[in-house]
Structure 1
Amino acid sequence: MTERVAMIGSGIIGRAFAICFSRGGYEVTLYDPKDGVADAAIPLMRETVADLEQNGLLNDRTTDDVMSRMVPVKTMEEAVEGAIHVQENAPEVLELKRELFTKLDKIAPKDAVLASSSSSIVTSKFTEELEGRHRCMIVHPTNPPYVVTILELVPAPWTDPEVAQKTRERLEAMGMSPITLHKEVTGFIMNRFQSPILQEAFRLVAMGVVSPEDVDKAMSEGISQRWSFIGPLEVGDLNAPNGFREYAEKYEAMNRNIAMEQRDLMPWAGPLLDYIDKNFRERVPMDQHKARQQWRDRRLMALAVHKKWANENIK
């Protein structure tokens, strides 16, 4: 019997997670409080799933096979019936998450994991009063998770360690790449990496040092080339003949001086925001925005195919 996973919310993240779980062999129910959204998700997902199949990224499944396990439903109760895992994908609003998890804790099977896709609100903020708080945790994706497979697992202080570990093992078996945080922290790991980079991008543009286009080029054609297969600490380790200690001793002073210049936060508003947004709309008008998202996904698929090949063939 195929195990069931419930998607609560069928927007961009809900659809992406539905693809991941269905590709992993689960039946996926899709619920959304807005009429018609869950049904409309099916044709939207089919196009993406077909792209994944074309690139060999469906775990040896077919588009029809993956899509056949997607089931839109009309109520939250229908969605969670018999589910072993419930993934909440609601907007980043604390009170809304409290309401949803209060209801989910009452109606979901008592052994089902209750997971949130929250990007910054930690689990303890909306599960403390729940009878089943031991089964609640964050499972936060990086968009789009059906290609960028990293997932942040963030238990609350009261999450049962066995629940967290079994969730990690389930996701790994699906071909995902979960990391587990040992304590709650605002923004988790991915957003805490991205935030200072975005701050510095704003700063460099505001100072007139570089254009928005060249900020992105510096990352896409520079630093990220290495970061696509090794992280920033290993970059340092490999950039010094005698390893990371030598790298740290050589560049600590420079990085401390840069950090002193970066203490003041840049506002993400006003003329600077107007300038950057205008720059993007000149390059990618809004009527081309969805096509650009699809281009991004297909480039990521190609990268995933290469990394899979490299992992198997380059030692």
Structure 2
Amino acid sequence: MERARAIYARVGQAPVIIRREVDGFVLNRLQAALLAEAFRLVSEGVVSPADLDVTMTRGLGLRWAFMGPFETIELNAPGGIPDYVARFRGFLELIPRDPARPEVFSDEALATVMAEWTPTADAEAKMRWRDGRLAALRVHLDARDRGALDRAPAPPQASTP
């Protein structure tokens, strides 16, 4: 496993060790959980698909581009992960008490999402754009991991009058 891990790392991949077999890939399982809640929020009229995407791309997605969910919550409370869980336990437990059910992907839920979703006009062009942005982000993150960004000057701080 270590040899395989080294080979994948050498070619720019980010290998992880799976400690036990489960159906599906870890990434797909996490994505499914997030999608289930996204479908539920849209189909129950809480938020539009476009606004949900903004929430991800301008909020959580920005953090998740360079740190995972545990590091994110560790930095969101002064006492780290235990403090975060203590502060937000009540809210965090709401979702598992009302877990996403298969019907969140029902035809009715899908129809609700699609009624508000504007499909991408040129999906192939958008995929090329996405792949370019991912490649640029990868270059940025690789530079950060090499420490090159740590030596860069800090961005100017906004001043208040």
Give the TM-score normalised by the residue count of structure 1.
0.44
In structure 1, C-alpha distance between the alignment counterparts of 2:109 and 2:85, rounded to whole Å: 34
Among 175, 184, 195, which residue is 2:21 paired with?
184
State whether structure 2 residue 51 is matched by structure 1 residue 202. Answer: no
Asked if 2 retains the 8 angstrom alpha-carbon contact of 1:203 and 1:266, the reply is no
**Structure 1 counterpart of 2:123:** 289
Among 227, 230, 253, which residue is 2:67 paired with?
230
**Structure 2 counterpart of 1:305:** 139
Aligned residues: 149
Asked if 2 retains the 8 angstrom alpha-carbon contact of 1:204 and 1:210, the reply is yes
State whether structure 2 residue 31 is matched by structure 1 residue 171. Answer: no
Q: Between the two proteins, what is the percent identity of the paired residues? A: 34
Asked if 2 retains the 8 angstrom alpha-carbon contact of 1:168 and 1:178, the reply is yes
| Structure 1 residues 296 and 279: alpha-carbon distance in aligned structure 2, compared to 1, 3 A threshold | farther
**Structure 1 counterpart of 2:159:** none
Deviations 1:39-80 (A, max 9, x none): xxxxxxxxxxxxxxxxxxxxxxxxxxxxxxxxxxxxxxxxxx
1:184 partner SS:
coil
Q: CA RMSD in A?
A: 1.9
Letter in 2 for 1:224: G
Task: Give 1:171 shift.
Answer: 1.0
Task: Give 1:197 shift.
Answer: 0.5
Gaps of 5+ in 2: 151-161
Equivalences for residues 1-315 of structure 1 within 5 A:
164-277=1-114, 279-280=116-117, 282-285=118-121, 288-311=122-145, 312-315=147-150
| Structure 1 residues 258 and 271: alpha-carbon distance in aligned structure 2, compared to 1, 3 A threshold | closer
In structure 1, C-alpha distance between the alignment counterparts of 2:115 and 2:44, rounded to whole Å: 17
Letter in 2 for 1:176: Q
In structure 1, C-alpha distance between the alignment counterparts of 2:149 and 2:65, rounded to whole Å: 15
| Structure 1 residues 263 and 202: alpha-carbon distance in aligned structure 2, compared to 1, 3 A threshold | closer
In structure 1, C-alpha distance between the alignment counterparts of 2:127 and 2:103, rounded to whole Å: 27
In structure 2, C-alpha distance between the alignment counterparts of 1:247 and 1:222, rounded to whole Å: 18
In structure 2, C-alpha distance between the alignment counterparts of 1:305 and 1:262, rounded to whole Å: 37
Give the TM-score normalised by the residue count of structure 2.
0.82
In structure 2, C-alpha distance between the alignment counterparts of 1:230 and 1:216, rounded to whole Å: 19
Deviations 1:206-230 (A, max 9, x none): 1111111111111111101111111
| Structure 1 residues 266 and 222: alpha-carbon distance in aligned structure 2, compared to 1, 3 A threshold | farther
Q: Which protein is richer in helix relative to its size?
A: 2
2:16 partner SS:
strand
Greater relative contact order, per chain length (Cα 8 Å cut-off, separation 6+):
2
In structure 2, C-alpha distance between the alignment counterparts of 1:203 and 1:191, rounded to whole Å: 18
Task: Give 1:263 shift.
Answer: 4.6
